[in-house]
Amino acid sequence: MIDKILNSKNRLYYHVLFWVVYVAIYTLMYGGYEDHYWQEFQALLFLLPWKIIPTYITLYYLMPKYLYPKKTWQYIALSLPLALTMALINRYMAWTYIYPWFYAEEQYWQTPMLYLPKVLSSLVSVYSPVFVAMAIKLQLFYYQKDKINKELEKEKVATELKFLKAQIHPHFLFNTLNSIYSLSLSKSKKTPEAVLGLSKFLDYMLYECNDRFISIGREWEQLMNLIALERLRYGDNLSVNVSHAIDNKESLIPSLLLLPFVENAFKHGADNEIEDSWINIDLKLLKQQLVFLIENSKSAAQPEDSLDADKNIGLKNVRRRLDLFFPEKYDLKVMEEEGSFLVKLNIDLRGVAELRKNEGI
């Protein structure tokens, strides 16, 4: 309804409707005293210009120039003489024309034109539609302002998400190219397979991840591609155990959300200083409740804050993305013990469909 009023094509209609309703209400209110509806209707129409003029001066000059910018005293200083002038004109027109036309027998001239109670009554009569129109205008103004602020905030969040997502690509490429470089140094026969795996992953990131959300089934499939790439590099020196239980593979999550956790697990868990390196990955998605567990071995030589250090772009990135996508609807715990790191992520995905609907995706 408010959007229709704000539409320039509908404004004239609502302005006309406002005055029609005003005249109808006051005709019924005052004409009902002695069943002088026709007289009251004529009087209202005759005096209507002195209500229309202050209404539109207030709406389209005083409010935009002084009230909205919070120049309150200037607004009051200009509104008071306008109100008094219109009230006096309204009183004069009523005293000079309306009373002789409709109330001649009541000896209206015995009450002076500048009689204060009558002037105040005229002021109330003139400014009653002004105040109603102001209330409507302010409601529309704050609605539009709130709508613009929400759009700006949405654009800000969208821009930040694009920036965060863009950071994932070079971060992943750097790590994967390092893995392929290590294979090439040893002249491994697995190098072509690694290059092919990387090309598949690049195809996924460049062409399939343009949307902000992707199915959990497709995201899991690409995580398995990443794990396959890393296995080529480490071979039997690293034990990787993977399990998952997904009741609906079409459930949507932010694209590339889980990738940084897997990258970190290989970064910290596949260490040459660890005699038996290992990584355990478990994903469960039941009734839109996602639980992602990833645990990896840790070298005693690694600093205690290495997983959450400032240089850890991937983990900082994913924390921020979770804040933007799932405010107060996720729980991320990073736990460190003497010989292992454990990351546990819980997300309530029930709001994703509503989020996509609000964004018009």
The CA distances from residue 128 to 43, 110, 305, in Å, are 16, 27, 68
Measured between its terminal Cα atoms, the distance across the chain in Å is: 23
Round to whole Å and give the CA distance between 146 and 235: 57
Of the spans 48-57, 90-99, 294-303, which averages the highest pLDDT? 48-57
- 140 and 24 inside one domain: yes
- 29 and 95 inside one domain: yes
Domain containing residue 336: 188-359
DSSP strands (E only) in 118-237:
213-215
Q: Which two tokens stand for residue 194?
A: 């690694």
- 216 and 128 inside one domain: no
Residue 77 lies in a domain: yes
Picking from 317, 314, 282, the residue whose alpha carbon sits closest to that of residue 296 is 282
Q: What is the three-class DSSP state of 273?
A: coil
Q: Within 10 A of 111 (CB to CB), how many other CB atoms are there?
A: 13
pTM, to two decimals: 0.54
Q: What is the mean pLDDT of residues 304-326?
A: 66
Higher-scoring residue by pLDDT: 165, 181? 181
Residue 155 lies in a domain: no
Asked whether the beta carbons of 190 and 183 are under 8 A apart, the reply is: yes
What pLDDT is stored for residue 2 in this prediction? 47
Q: What is the mean pLDDT of residues 174-202?
A: 77
Q: Within 10 A of 269 (CB to CB), how many other CB atoms are there?
A: 25
Residue 112 lies in a domain: yes
Residue 164 lies in a domain: no
What mean pLDDT value characterizes the chain?
Answer: 78
pLDDT-derived band at 282, boundaries 50, 70, 90: very high
Q: Which two tokens stand for residue 6?
A: 């704000």
The residue from 131, 149, 167 where one domain ends is 149
- 197 and 107 inside one domain: no
Residue 163 lies in a domain: no
The residue from 91, 126, 149 where one domain ends is 149
Residue 39 lies in a domain: yes
- 192 and 142 inside one domain: no
> What are the residues whose beta carbons fall under 8 Å from the beta carbon of 179, sequence distance 6 or more?
194, 229, 230, 232, 233
pLDDT in tens, 216-269: 998 898 888 888 877 777 777 788 899 999 999 988 888 778 888 887 788 777
- 343 and 226 inside one domain: yes
- 143 and 193 inside one domain: no
Phi, psi for 193 (deg, rounded to 5): -65, -35
Picking from 162, 242, 241, 230, the residue whose alpha carbon sits closest to that of residue 198 is 230
What pLDDT is stored for residue 310 in this prediction? 41
What pLDDT is stored for residue 311 in this prediction? 45
Residue 170 lies in a domain: no
| Tally of domains within the chain | 2
Residue 169 lies in a domain: no
